Amino acid sequence: MYKCAIILAAGEGKRMNSNTPKVLHKVCGKEMINHVIDTMRSADIEMVDVVIGRGASTVKEATESRKVNYSLQKDQLGTGHAVMCTKEFLEGNDGIVAIFVGDGPLITENTVREMLQYHQKGEFKATILTSKMDDPAKYGRVIRNENNEVEKIVEFKDCTEEELLVKEINSGMYCFNIKELLNSLDRLNNNNAQEEYYLTDVIGILKSGGFKVGAFDVPVEEITAVNSKVELADAELIMKIRINRKHMENGVTIMDPNNTYIDLEVEIGKDTIIYPGNILQGTTIIKENCVLYQNNRIVDSTIENGVSVQSSVIIESKVGECTTVGPYAYIRPESNIGKHARIGDFVEIKKSIIGDNTKVSHLTYIGDAEVGSGCNFGCGTVVVNYNGISKFKTIIGNNAFIGCNTNLVSPVKVNDNTYIAAGSTITNEVPENALAIARARQRNIENWVVKKGHNK
């Protein structure tokens, strides 16, 4: 059976109080609209059409990688009107269309699949995702007849006092048989409190035409839509709990799930331990047996087995097996740190390669450099990679011992098995097996303090 989906995302989202279109606000690192698109795809719905209107070009750009179809709704005349704008996408197809909303990111793959099965099994022409709420507030009410069949949906603003008491609500998410939906859309009007074309009226139209309408009950959590920043935070919390639970089930130890922030696409290997205050973002991969001590932010990076990281920031970089990072290290984009290495406290690495077993233990800056294996950087080394106009490269071989407080003025090369004396400013190549000293020789002026009268 042909299955497709329409995602409504043309509305303005006034209550977000933001310059960003509502559906582009992120939940656990991903735009709400992309959560919905990806959920449709994982439920095997290939053809997805997004109805765009407000902020159309921005929404298009943000969803481009998903290869969806777009229908433009120039003026927002209601949810029914939005679906009318998808006629071209729907026409000529015989099958089922699922209709979801771009601001409802919490819907799960499982629920989408179950809804479609329920719809087909029950031979319904329309199925509404519904929920029961103690306080149904502004949701549309599902009205049933004396045989307990769904008869229609009445919008909050159009409800009678009696209808307002109904606790079964319309989630605004449905599936329809395409043919019957298209026929019913032609019969919508805007004679209602909001003078809008309501998609919800299709339900009453189908029912009065003698067709069966189903209601599929799901947990409120899944159909919660985001209309404000407060609700955005609510959605973030629900998604965060789901993500953390998944990792714990996969064998990751998370000490304080309330205080651990992991984006949806992050992967973590088993027996990794995560202390509070970690923020793992984007496409980060943390392999097995790592320890992420307190307060790290790791973005789009790969951390190999057995690494420990503490109070550090790692962005778009790789860290090799059993290396330790931090506390207070900053590894900037395009860095590649080897195995069994050490990047210690107050060390900044930028766009550099650091070889296996190399130790950069404290107070050091390395930028635009290639460093071999087995090197040791003394405290306070600076790679001087920038002359105010251009950046240059520094190359350091294997087993170099860089004394404390060394400046390496780029471009410069330090060959294998070399020593650099502490306090040197290196501007020329250091040949293999050499000791380089580049500092003023010490001179002692005898009795200077006494002569000057500075003695106490």
Which residues are near Ca ion by CB under 5 A?
225
- Exactly one of 89, 139, 330, 377 binds ligand UD1 (CB under 6 A); that residue is 139
Minimum Å gap between C-beta 280 and ligand UD1 is 29
Partner whose binding site includes residue 269, from ligand UD1, Ca ion, none (CB under 5 to 8 Å by kind) = none
Minimum Å gap between C-beta 156 and ligand UD1 is 7
- Exactly one of 6, 77, 202, 292 binds ligand UD1 (CB under 6 A); that residue is 77
Site for ligand UD1 (CB under 6 A): how many residues? 28
Check binding of 310 to ligand UD1 (CB under 6 A): no
Partner whose binding site includes residue 153, from ligand UD1, Ca ion, none (CB under 5 to 8 Å by kind) = ligand UD1
Among 25, 35, 247, 362, the one annotated catalytic: 362
Closest to Ca ion by CB, 199 vs 329, is 199
Minimum Å gap between C-beta 83 and ligand UD1 is 9
Minimum Å gap between C-beta 227 and Ca ion is 6
Site for ligand UD1 in 142-201 (CB under 6 A): 153, 155, 169-172, 198-200
Our answer to whether residue 119 is catalytic in this structure is no
Closest to Ca ion by CB, 131 vs 399, is 131
Name the token pair of 410.
Answer: 């780029």
Minimum Å gap between C-beta 283 and ligand UD1 is 28
Closest to Ca ion by CB, 141 vs 350, is 141
Closest to ligand UD1 by CB, 14 vs 245, is 14
Partner whose binding site includes residue 298, from ligand UD1, Ca ion, none (CB under 5 to 8 Å by kind) = none
Write out the residues near ligand UD1 by the rule CB under 6 A: 8-11, 51, 53, 73, 76-79, 81-82, 101-103, 139-140, 153, 155, 169-172, 198-200, 225
* Residues with catalytic function: 362
